[in-house]
Amino acid sequence: MLEFAWWWILFALPLPLLIRWLTPAVTETDSAALKVPSLMPHVTAPEKLKQNHRFILLVSSLIWITLIIAAAQPRWLGEPVSIPSKGRELMLAVDLSGSMKIDDMQLNGQQVNRLTMIKAVLNNFIQRRVGDRLGLILFADTAYMQAPLTYDRETVASLLNEAVIGLIGEQTAIGDAIGLAVKRFDEKEDTNRVIILLTDGQNTAGNITPAQAKELAVASNTTVYTIGVGADEMLIQNFFGSRRVNPSQDLDETMLRDLAESTGGQYFRARDAQELNNIYAILDELEPVEGDERKMRPLTALYYYPLALALVLSVLTALVVLGRNYWRQRRVNFKEMTEN
């Protein structure tokens, strides 16, 4: 939608007409006395001006109109767009240790490893977090920041999908992941700080123990939700036949539960894709997205278009007038030379 910031300036459009009506007209004698140049005795200036009168009047009117429109500050009011409201700082910490390659998960009827299942389900959760600042931490032997806190959910999802098992080792540094997440939260922002940690094992590496990480989270008023990933049993084929094993026997549920409950969060167990999807639905309820969505309509300034048009018309008019006077003078000089 087109609007004018200073619409009242448009009332100045008829100002030249008012001045013309309110001021006395110039007589032909005065006009001749004022407009006939002494250096061009053979040119009847009023007659030449009369020929150009309509052109000059039209162009002058267009220049005046465009200048007034530019002064009124025209701008285009765009469609309403959502802007991030005050939500949460939500850090996702995903385990990339060697055990995440175990194929004990079912996804759409296919057997997949744990990381593949996490990526598939976590992407839907990321897209639902409109208004939250999301970050991504990947950890194994150590923890590193893959995506800082941002409103760009597409980038976070893309970086998650690019994660590879074994990229930073084979062990599990849970304490480092929590400590790094707490450190990267913006202390200036008054928001709910939430960490969602997904792992399938126990803390076996890193410089910070889970107990120390828990103290950091409590001190910074950060809520930690922990999710233990892995099936309770799976069938393994060997030379002697098949046997059932527990692929999640290394999962330290006691530590994960204590870490979550001490910070005001909860511990969840995800044995398959459906359970993990249900966990994310519960997290949406426990940490709901900001309900009052704010919208804004972007403004695009347009004043430079009529201003540029006025400049172009002014330059072209000046060039046309100067060109006509130049060639007129050349014809006069040529005529004088031929007569002499």
Domain ranges of the chain: 2-77+299-339, 85-292
CA distance 113 to 110: 10
Q: Say which range, 11-15, 63-67, 245-249, has the weakest mean pLDDT.
A: 245-249
User: Could you tell me which residue, 124 or 46, shows the higher pLDDT?
Assistant: 124
User: Could you tell me which residue, 42 or 143, shows the higher pLDDT?
Assistant: 143
Instruction: Specify the pLDDT at position 138.
Output: 95
pLDDT at 25 over 70: no
Instruction: Specify the pLDDT at position 129.
Output: 87
CA distance 176 to 208: 5
* Exposure letters 283-299 (e unless 16+ CB within 10 A, then b): beeebeebeeeeeeeee
Q: Give me 198's structure tokens.
A: 């997904």
Instruction: Specify the pLDDT at position 196.
Output: 95
* Token pair 């939430």 in the structure block, residue: 194
Instruction: Specify the pLDDT at position 177.
Output: 95
- pLDDT per position as a tens digit, 40-77: 444 444 555 555 677 778 888 898 999 999 999 888 88
User: Could you tell me which residue, 281 or 338, shows the higher pLDDT?
Assistant: 281
User: Could you tell me which residue, 70 or 79, shows the higher pLDDT?
Assistant: 70
- pLDDT per position as a tens digit, 151-171: 899 999 999 999 999 888 899
- Best CA proximity match to 70, nearest among 152, 4, 24, 1: 4
Confidence of residue 340 (pLDDT cuts 50, 70, 90): low
- pLDDT per position as a tens digit, 109-118: 888 899 999 9
Phi-psi region of 109 (alpha: psi -120 to 50; beta: other; left: phi over 0): left
Q: What is the mean pLDDT of the chain?
A: 83
Q: Say which range, 48-52, 226-230, 261-265, has the weakest mean pLDDT.
A: 48-52
- pLDDT per position as a tens digit, 184-216: 886 656 678 899 999 988 899 989 999 999 999
CATH class of this structure's domain 85-292: alpha beta
User: What secondary structure letter does DSSP report for 132?
Assistant: -
